[in-house]
Amino acid sequence: MDEVGMVVEAELSLLRPDVRSSAQAVEALLDPDFVEVGASGRRWDRPAMVAALGSGEITDPEPIQATEVAGVQLADDLVHVTYVSRRTGGAPVRRSSLWRRTDGTWRLYYHQGTPADVASGNG
């Protein structure tokens, strides 16, 4: 599998309940300098995200669906992943992630979610 494919697979694994509910699995995928600006506008750092996922605060029992998944390698150690996510019964969210490779391991460095109206083409 190529570098972009490996990163996309890692990104999509973060949508699965079994991964999201495991602090150890999440910590392994998040860069020590991880930052997220969620669809709510809330800013998360690595400790806050691991704690929220581990407590179930932001974990659903069903997987989050992803469509329009794309990835591009921007530099040797940097991959950009985009997709649209949707929780069961929820609104779509456009997602953008930067993954960086440090010490030979790909980890999620930055993630942003923006609410979208993809059905109308305006999102």
Average pLDDT over residues 20-42: 94
pLDDT level of residue 58 (50, 70, 90 thresholds): confident
Check residues 97 and 59 and name the one with the higher pLDDT.
97
User: According to the model, what pLDDT value does residue 24 have?
Assistant: 93
Q: Where are the domains of the chain?
A: 3-120
Q: Please tell me the class of the 3-120 domain.
A: alpha beta
User: According to the model, what pLDDT value does residue 118 have?
Assistant: 62
First to last CA, the chain: 31
pTM of the complete model: 0.89
* 66 in Cβ contact with 83 (< 8 Å): yes
